[in-house]
Chains A and B, each alone.
Chain A
Amino acid sequence: MKSLVCMKQVPDTETQIKVNSQGTGIVTEGIKYIINPYDEFSVEEALRLKEKFKQGEVVILTIGPDRCTESIRTALAMGADKGIHINDESLNSADPFVVAQALAAAASQVDYNVIFCGHRAIDDDFAEAGAMLAELLQIPQVTLVTKVEVSDDKTKAIVERDVEGGKETVEVSLPCVLTSQKGLNEPRYASLPGIMKAKKKPIDKKTAADLGITAEARLESREYSMPPERKAGKKLEGMEPPDAAKELVRLLRNEAKVI
């Protein structure tokens, strides 16, 4: 079972984001980076499929600057076999379509039964690259996946996905793109021997030229801004619960007018 796992490096969820003084992006100094949490579910699911079939390969595909090597090594330490690191100024902060083009070009150079993407990356939150990748490769997509069962002959999968207000179970032929949702699995930690082995695993470096693509932006960002600062409002302290509840409900009705 061969899986290609698209993985993005993103700022840790506890990062306090600040917009730079020109308003062209965020301040990147001092940010601690992690593997996008939804991509961790992808790595784990790909490893489980390889273990279940007792053969195969898990390839990590990342686009981003030099710092992304660390995240690829983490995935290799979890058990993935090799990495492909696309590192090109024209692609490193590209829009979802250009990202999908680069991923599709890289995917067409490797063998896979299935491609995993996180259903979204928690930095730019577009939630588009996975579906676009599937369309560019002309294969099906199943998004927001919480359960995957691949048939013994690896030609199809039964997949459970989140839909509004419930679950949908679908049958899909392979290869396809699956986008991972929380609930799919509990990602493992890298073991010490895993970390040692990861140091020797190969990471292929690629540029846009290697992939034969030219990045033509479909979207462009303009002014970045911080959300309006929320201030602490009224605090009801030292009151008996019935009094506090009464006062709170009165405020919500008469002052905030939301109920």
Chain B
Amino acid sequence: MSKVLIYGEIRAGKLKKTAFELASEARRLADGLGGDVAAVVLGPQAEQFAPDLARFGADTVYVVEGPQLDAYNTEYFAQALAQVIREKQPEIVLLSHTMQGKDLAPRTAAKLGIASIADCVSFEIDGGKLVGKRPMYAGKCSAEWVCKGSPQMASARPNVLEAVENPKAGKVEKIAFSPDTGRSTYTTRELSLDTSGKVDLTEAEIIVSGGRGMGGTDYSLLEEMASIFGANAAVGASRAAVDAGWRPHSDQVGQTGKTVCPNLYVACGISGSIQHLAGMGSSKVIVAINKDPEAPIFTKADYGVVGDLFKVVPEMNKELRALLAE
């Protein structure tokens, strides 16, 4: 019997990196408990990802197939996931707190009459029970949570857990989906995705962010820096910049936007309000570039440059281009 079951999210025909983070963490937890790791993937293209999941520690890969699972739909994906959980009875179920995970986990949990410890940044086993530590109030504090129901379910914040290769058999087991088509659900009319391959802020390894100091909609300097850093870098914005209409709300970092935890956060012209600092405070390294030497952001920044971002950033881009071209 599998102790730990993870959900492997597939997006745009690829298994997300967060699936490897989950598989590795599940391996660690299952080894501690003395049990197996299983992964579940849904949809017609799912089986091809079994070897990848095996490489990161999955003993078994459940592949659920059915015409309702061709594209993501909350109701059917939740039904399929709940079906596997009911049939296989894992002790622990882990998902990623991605945009899809946030939609899927609570619907699945409710079908099982449980709740999920959402958005955890670390896990441990205490007395045989899963303990998930999660930031609250956008990271202003944290708390440890345990499940009272069964199975125990939690979601992990992307980009926090380490993905470690640990090859296992990854035996494929196909499961036929038995949907309840009597349930009402939405139908997708149109899906318009940015095809530039830009990474979502919550999963970016480097974020270059601009605030009120940008003075307008021209973020080309920051876009340029992000593109020098490569595909794992994204551009963010403060609430002031979003409320001014300079940037889309999906770029907003902070308590009423996204909570992020990149390896490097470069804050340009952001003074550092409490709600912004909460949203990016768990970044591994913070850089601040601001004209005002008294800006609160400098109290949290590992590296600060007091200066005009419009003069400093172009010079940085020159340096970075030369360095990263090597």
Query: Which residues of B, 269-319, contact A by the 8 Å Cβ criterion?
Result: 273-275, 281-282, 284-287, 293, 298-308, 311-313, 315-316, 318-319
Chain A CB within 8 A of B36 CB: no
The segment from B22-30, B84-92, B115-123, B216-224 that touches chain A is: B115-123
Q: Are A134 and B107 in contact (CB under 8 A)?
A: yes
Bound-state CA distance A147–B148 (Å) is 37
Contacts of A241 in B (CB 8 A): 307-308, 311-312, 315
Known interface pairs A230-B286, A239-B307, A241-B307; A162-B114 also in contact (CB < 8 Å): no
A259 in contact with B148 (CB, 8 Å): no
Interface assignment of A213: CB less than 8 Å from any CB of chain B: no
Q: Give chain A residues whose Cβ lies under 8 Å from the Cβ of B187.
A: 170-172
> A235 to B147, Cβ gap below 8 A?
no
Q: Interface-forming stretch among B41-49, B55-63, B166-174, B249-257?
A: B249-257
Which chain B residues lie closer than 8 Å to A96 at the CB level?
A: 106, 115-116, 118
Let me know if A196 is at the binding interface, CB within 8 A.
no
Q: Mark A173-200, 1 if CB is under 8 A from B, else 0.
A: 1001000011100000000000000000
A205-224, CB under 8 A of B: which get 1 and which 0? 00000000000111111111
Quick check: A164 and B99 within 8 Å, CB to CB? yes
Given A182-B252, A219-B146, A245-B312, verify A234-B304 contact (CB < 8 Å): yes
Least CB distance from A253 to B in Å reads 7
Kindly state whether residue B181 has any CB partner on chain A within 8 Å: no
Q: How large is the interface on A (under 10, 10 to 19, 20 to 34, 35 or more residues)?
A: 35 or more
A65 within 8 A of B: no
Q: How many Å lie between the Cα of A259 and that of B287 in the bound state?
A: 13
Chain A 89-120: CB-based contact to B (< 8 A → 1; otherwise 0): 00000011110100000000000000000011
| Distance between Cα atoms of A90 and B315 in the complex (Å) | 58
- In angstroms, Cα B256 to Cα A38, docked, is 8
Chain B residues with CB under 8 A of A226: 141-142
- Is B149 located at the chain interface by the 8 A CB criterion? yes
A225 touching B323 in the complex, CB below 8 Å, given contacts A13-B255, A245-B318: no
- Contact status B188-A227, CB under 8 Å: no
A21 to chain B minimum Cβ distance, whole angstroms, is 13
Among A125, A158, A171, A238, residue most surrounded by chain B Cβ atoms (within 10 Å) = A125
Q: Which of B142, B287, B308, B319 is A227 in contact with, Cβ under 8 Å?
A: B142
Task: List residues of chain B with CB within 8 A of the CB of A227.
Answer: 135, 139-142, 281-282
Contact yes or no, B315 A242, CB < 8 A:
yes
Given contacts A162-B250, A164-B99, A235-B304, contact A169 B141 (CB under 8 A): no
- For residue A29, CB closer than 8 A to chain B, the reply is no
Tell whether, in the assembled complex, residue B106 and residue A128 are in contact, meaning their CB atoms are under 8 Å apart.
Answer: yes
Q: Does A30 lie at the interface of the complex (its beta carbon under 8 Å from any beta carbon of B)?
A: no
Instruction: Give the chain A neighbours of B119 by CB distance below 8 A.
Output: 125-127
When the two chains form the complex, which single residue of A127, A165, A182, A220 contacts B256, counting CB atoms closer than 8 Å?
A: A182
Question: In the bound complex, what is the Cα–Cα distance between A11 and B255 (angstroms)?
Answer: 11
Q: Can you show 22 pairs from A to B with CB atoms below 8 A apart? A: A14-B274, A26-B141, A95-B115, A120-B102, A125-B137, A127-B119, A128-B106, A140-B75, A163-B100, A171-B187, A172-B186, A182-B252, A219-B146, A222-B131, A225-B143, A227-B140, A230-B281, A232-B299, A244-B307, A245-B319, A258-B206, A259-B229
Interface pairs A-B: 5 shortest CB-CB: A245-B315, A135-B110, A128-B106, A17-B140, A166-B193
Q: Footprint of A on B, CB under 8 Å? A: 11, 74-75, 78, 98-100, 102-103, 105-107, 109-111, 113-119, 131, 134-149, 183-194, 198, 200, 206, 229, 242, 248-250, 252, 254-257, 259, 263-264, 273-275, 281-282, 284-287, 293, 298-308, 311-313, 315-316, 318-320, 323-324
